[in-house]
């Protein structure tokens, strides 16, 4: 039996096709395909395109998919979904595919970040979310990378080149970008600026972690989990090992596919 989870985010949309034994409701299931595409101007169009591409990649027809669950900020606008479920529940369920006993999930996406506390069995017991400001999200890093004229994927390598950093005082993405441009104009080492930017986003996330209470084991999901600089800085500041899924961007869609059963 095939189920599908579609996670419609502000920046990207993910779809996961899962194959499960319908005789066993506790079966882990097998990911047969997944896709990640830009959301663009229409969350509805992006969701349909992701679903169709995932079906094509899995070599199954849309009619073969028993149930579809939508999640993410655009979940209520997906007419072909059988149900929509919050990303909190979907991320909590999704991490179970990769790690057991996770107690804290740090999710940093394109335009929001959240910290979810779990009971160790995949059920959320508390959470905090920042969805009102781009600071502390992937968008913040994208804007700064553009200002520095450095590819975002190079941040991890650059982060390790120096232990010195320039503190970024602005808490707003727009003002922080102006501050970075000013620092570049002063001839400040870009490596130091990047290290300062990484700690700026990390400090915002840590404030959320501290409010909700850190419990190990810890897992990080979302596109920013691919940024090794942010992961290293978080591990350093929190003093814990952070587990990263094989594909951290699809965790929400994966959880939705499980819950579709």
pLDDT grade for 150, boundaries at 50, 70 and 90: confident
Judgement on whether residues 255 and 171 belong to the same structural domain of the protein? no
Considering its fold, how many domains does the chain have in total? Answer: 2
Judgement on whether residues 230 and 252 belong to the same structural domain of the protein? no
- Does the residue 123 lie in any domain? no
- Does the residue 113 lie in any domain? no
Q: E-strand spans in the chain? A: 2-8, 12-19, 30-38, 65-71, 83-84, 104-108, 113-118, 124-130, 218-221, 242-243
Judgement on whether residues 236 and 252 belong to the same structural domain of the protein? no
**DSSP β-bridge partners for residue 237:** none
What is the predicted pLDDT for the residue at 27?
56
Judgement on whether residues 80 and 182 belong to the same structural domain of the protein? no
Judgement on whether residues 68 and 142 belong to the same structural domain of the protein? no
- Does the residue 120 lie in any domain? no
- Does the residue 199 lie in any domain? yes
pLDDT in tens, 164-186: 888 887 777 788 889 899 998 89
pTM (two decimals)? 0.89
- Does the residue 119 lie in any domain? no
pLDDT in tens, 84-143: 999 999 999 999 989 989 999 999 987 788 999 999 888 999 999 886 676 777 788 888
Judgement on whether residues 80 and 138 belong to the same structural domain of the protein? no
| DSSP code at position 38 | E
Judgement on whether residues 134 and 239 belong to the same structural domain of the protein? yes
Domain that holds residue 56: 2-98+247-259
Here the CATH number for the domain that contains residue 39 is 3.30.420.40
């Amino acid at each position: 039996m095939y189920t599908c989870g579609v996670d419609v985010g502000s920046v990207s949309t993910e779809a996961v096709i899962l194959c499960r034994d319908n005789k066993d409701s506790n079966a882990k299931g097998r990911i047969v395909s997944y896709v990640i595409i830009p959301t663009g101007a229409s969350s509805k169009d992006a969701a349909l395109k992701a679903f169709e591409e995932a079906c094509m990649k899995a070599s199954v027809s849309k009619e073969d998919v028993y149930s579809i669950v939508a999640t993410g900020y655009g979940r209520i606008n997906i007419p072909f979904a059988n149900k929509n479920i919050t990303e909190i529940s979907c991320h909590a369920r999704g991490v179970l595919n990769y790690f057991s006993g996770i107690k804290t999930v740090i999710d940093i996406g394109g335009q929001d970040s959240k910290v979810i506390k779990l009971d160790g069995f995949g059920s959320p017991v508390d959470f905090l979310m920042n969805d009102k400001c781009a600071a502390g999200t992937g968008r913040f890093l994208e804007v700064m990378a553009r200002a520095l004229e450095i590819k975002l994927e190079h941040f991890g390598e650059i982060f390790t080149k120096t232990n010195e950093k320039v503190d970024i005082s602005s808490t707003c993405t727009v003002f922080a970008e102006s501050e970075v441009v000013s620092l570049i104009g002063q001839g400040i080492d870009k490596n130091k600026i990047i290290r300062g930017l990484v700690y700026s986003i990390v400090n915002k996330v840590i404030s959320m972690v501290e409010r909700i209470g850190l419990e190990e084991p810890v897992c990080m999901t979302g596109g920013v989990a691919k940024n090794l600089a942010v992961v290293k800085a978080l591990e350093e500041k929190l003093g814990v090992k952070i587990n990263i899924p094989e594909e951290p961007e699809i965790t929400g869609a994966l959880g939705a596919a499980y819950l579709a059963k």
